[in-house]
Structure 1
Amino acid sequence: MMWDAITEAMAGLYPRAQPWHVTYPAEGFDLRAASAYPADGHWHFVTYGLGERWGFELTFRVVRGAGEQPPQWPFLMLNRVAGYANAAAEPFEEGQWLDLGGPVTGFPGTDGPATGLTVVILAADPQLGDRFLQLVGVTAAEANGEVEIDDDHPLLVTDPGRA
């Protein structure tokens, strides 16, 4: 997927939004760039760089706080998951999940809060479709089916404060 197609898809959702862009150094990072768009009650993050190899990009929605800037920890988490994708023999698919071995927020090594969400499930982004795999933060018990996932939010927004 080309960068212009990603930007066009996001602009279709947020035509008046001013996104926050992050570029990653070529060495030591698996993504080329990512953006965060201010949405109603949440930030909508999208990656750039996986589509050229795998045909999909990652998205992530996180509850929006009072700040005017997006949190930085999702940019780091997206790069980490991109590393898993690049190391995989097969492309990621909807329904897969990844145990990150610690909080999805990277706590305590990032600006993210402490949370019990340690796993991300991949789902088709509800607004962008299956060429965009959205990461949804859940607990290990939810990922293992021991506890039912509360999926009453239609956009699958991750709230680190819920666990």
Structure 2
Amino acid sequence: MTEAAQGRDAADDEDLSPGWDAITAALERVYPGQEPKHYATVIKWMLGGPDPLDGVSVWRRMEPVPHWHYLSYGLSELYAKESNDAETSGYGFELTFRLACEPDDEDPPAWAVNFLQNLARYVFKSGNVFDDGHWMTANGPIALEQETLIRSMGFVFDPELPAIDTPNGRMSFIQVVGLTEDEERAGKQWDTRKLLEALLPAMPLWVTDLARPSLLDDAEVRRRVEEGAARDGSSSGFLFTEVLGWETSKRLLRSPVTEITLGARQVDELVALLPLRLPFGRDFHFASREKSLVFEHGEADSVSEEDDRLVMRLSDATVRELARTLKPVAGTYEVRGFGAVRWKVQKTTIRDPQGNVVRTIG
């Protein structure tokens, strides 16, 4: 990326850029008279370049806290209309990101530009889009090689940028909000959008501060979050695991027993989420690439196999007993009152991108 003086510089070789102009006009209403710093992509994605965004603009902001306000250009249709969806511009959104800064900082950190490019690259390659209330783990610090507890992300409509209609269709501004790992877990156990609202008084405009501790360290914030989860249950109905399998064995003069194998890494999340789903009448899917363990609420406990799905119907009492019994420690566990199933927990080894073991759980 190279810095350009004008937000339109990335589009100088285009005769028309109605989408780009509409986005710029929306930001000019928030920052009248302020010229942003713009970082343009040298070789566009459509020409084989590595960066999917055509550029990123950044505004400096002092209120309510000093921060940089980043905006992507390229997830919506900036130039001529190409998609068949007349109602939506491109993927339907652009990303924004607010990063805390010092009042005398002159240049926004370049890592945040690359951060937005990486998120856009995920969208371009997977076809998955971000929306208000979504979350995503970063599997490490969002700013590489920096000491920070911010290792996850929530997504929310930018509080100062409502959706707009452009000549290429409607689009929203989705703000990326940096979260700690325990805040991410709290969002999954409740609702990410409601969690972000609970954090907002301590995180004005959802500005990401790499130096901050977990906001759940504040007793009042934690109380609001825990009460919300207990009242509303969890909106998260899916948990991915790399370790999942089962085998059913017949027993002489006794009913068969199904032994379920899972990794220690996901145990804490599983036992935290089940009591916040099933008693509220909501199913929960615990899945690997090949298999799926489906939990459903039931008056009586049962287990049945359907192709690559194992369906378990659990009563409220068994859900509570499972949450008390299952631990993220290697071993075999049996839930009192539900002898038809045994749980085998295996150690989980976490490796870095180079394949080196960085952590063992269980």
Calculate the TM-score normalised by the size of structure 1: 0.89
Cα distance in 1 for partners of 2:125, 2:162 equals 24
Cα distance in 1 for partners of 2:24, 2:93 equals 14
Cα distance in 2 for partners of 1:90, 1:37 equals 28
Cα shift at 1:88: 3.0
Alignment of 1:77-156 (within 5 A): 77-106=115-144, 108=145, 113-130=146-163, 131-145=172-186, 150-152=199-201, 153-156=203-206
Cα shift at 1:16: 2.2
Cα shift at 1:23: 1.0
Match of 2:210 in 1: 160
Instruction: Give the % identical residues.
Output: 34
Cα shift at 1:123: 0.2
Aligned AA for 2:67? H
Give a deviation string over 1:93-146, Cα, whole Å, max 9, x none.
11111111111112x1xxxx4211011111000000250000000012111118
Aligned AA for 2:57? S
For these two proteins, the number of residue pairs brought into alignment is: 158
SS in 2 for 1:2: helix
Cα distance in 2 for partners of 1:96, 1:85 equals 13
Cα distance in 1 for partners of 2:159, 2:143 equals 22
Match of 1:30 in 2: 52
Match of 2:290 in 1: none
Calculate the TM-score normalised by the size of structure 2: 0.41
Q: Is the contact made by 1:126 and 1:154 (CA closer than 8 Å) also made in structure 2?
A: no
For the pair 1:56 / 2:96, whether they are aligned, the reply is: no
Aligned AA for 1:17? Q
Give the structure with the larger helix fraction: 2
Cα distance in 2 for partners of 1:90, 1:79 equals 15
Aligned AA for 1:92? F
Give the structure with the larger strand fraction: 2
Cα distance in 1 for partners of 2:69, 2:211 equals 17
Quote the RMSD (CA, aligned, Å). Answer: 1.9
Match of 2:278 in 1: none
Give a deviation string over 1:56-113, Cα, whole Å, max 9, x none.
100000112231111111101000111112223343211111111111112x1xxxx4
Cα distance in 2 for partners of 1:126, 1:86 equals 25
Q: Is the contact made by 1:18 and 1:38 (CA closer than 8 Å) also made in structure 2?
A: no
Q: Who wins on radius of gyration, i.e. which is larger?
A: 2
